[in-house]
Amino acid sequence: MAGMNLNEQVDHLSGFLLRHRRVLVLTGAGLSTASGIPDYRDKDGVRRGRTPIQGPDFRKSEAVRRRYWARSMAGWPTLAQAAPNAGHQALAQLEAAGRIDALITQNVDGLHQRAGSSRLIELHGNIHGVICLDCRTLHRRADIQRWLVEANPALAASAAAGADSVVPEARPDGDAEIELNDLQDFHMPSCGDCGGTLQPDVIFFGDNIPAPRTAAALEMMEQADALLVVGSSLMVFSGYRFCKLAAASGKPIAAINLGKTRADELIGLKVEATASEVLPRLL
């Protein structure tokens, strides 16, 4: 859309939504940055910061779990306080108005649900849930936080005070950026039902999306006649595959994203702006 001003680009996008009866929307981290949840990647799609937690390491190593829960405890308040932004609200309203058909998100922040989107698949899970790996009971992350703060008062106090040794920066997977000298004294949460090992109910890197969830998402793509990508560089295959599928069956693809995406050559209509700025103008 080079050479067009934002108004003209938004007009084209409006036309795209009107022309297609069943538009599937795929959202990524770029949508939630306006809610105060930082993106993993910069404009060129390059990962920044520390290597994320790997699922197999998390389950194998108590040290990795200890580090995760300590950082997660520090980063949780930011995630817990994040609220849906104008982009989330607009998507819920576009769905209610029948302008979009369904939504698939790569985000785990739960903000689409809170904004009121209903035909929704959270591809990578939801950080507000914690699952027991032994008995599969689903716990509320907010309850786990209460336990963590009570069991680790010193760390809770220094995190709240922003001490030099504990500098929380929330990450999308709940794994805050903090450096801790000694985690030996840190108390990890366990399942209140069976004493088992807890894991946030999200898909870590190195883990697979459950087959029924993938099947439901692919079904949504099958039923759609067009795809709109919002705030994703599509560097993760689980998102990119929807563009490949749409393109393979001749379904047009539009995108709202600041910076390049892995699927730029497949995208027919691209608006380079933030989602929270563009989406409300489609109403």
Looking only at the bridges linking them, the beta strands covering 102-105 and 23-27 are parallel
What are the C-alpha distances in Å from 193 to residues 6, 132, 143, 187, 259?
A: 54, 9, 13, 17, 46
Tell the smallest beta-carbon distance from residue 50 to Zn ion (Å). 29
- The DSSP code for 280 is G
Catalytic residue (choose from 20, 88, 124, 139): 124
Q: How long is the chain?
A: 283
Contact assessment for residue 24 and residue 249, using Cβ atoms and an 8 Å cutoff:
no
Chain residues in the site for Zn ion (CB under 5 A): 132, 134-135, 137, 191, 193-194, 196
Between 135 and 283, name the residue whose CB sits nearer to Zn ion.
135
Cα–Cα distance for residue pair 49/85, rounded to 1 Å:
25
Cα–Cα distance for residue pair 192/209, rounded to 1 Å:
26
What are the C-alpha distances in Å from 7 to residues 19, 30, 226, 241?
A: 18, 21, 22, 30
Between 62 and 193, name the residue whose CB sits nearer to Zn ion.
193
Tell the smallest beta-carbon distance from residue 207 to Zn ion (Å). 19
Between 96 and 194, name the residue whose CB sits nearer to Zn ion.
194
| Strand runs labelled E in 123-268 | 125-132, 138-140, 198-202, 226-230, 253-256
3-state helix, strand, coil in the chain (%, to 5): 40, 15, 40
Between 54 and 137, name the residue whose CB sits nearer to Zn ion.
137
Tell the smallest beta-carbon distance from residue 115 to Zn ion (Å). 31
Could you confirm whether 20 is annotated as catalytic?
no
Tell the smallest beta-carbon distance from residue 247 to Zn ion (Å). 43
Tell the smallest beta-carbon distance from residue 68 to Zn ion (Å). 18
Tell the smallest beta-carbon distance from residue 144 to Zn ion (Å). 12
Cα–Cα distance for residue pair 183/179, rounded to 1 Å:
10
Cα–Cα distance for residue pair 117/130, rounded to 1 Å:
22
> How many other β-carbons are positioned within 10 Å of the β-carbon of residue 73?
27
Between 195 and 268, name the residue whose CB sits nearer to Zn ion.
195
Question: So which residues are the catalytic ones?
Answer: 124
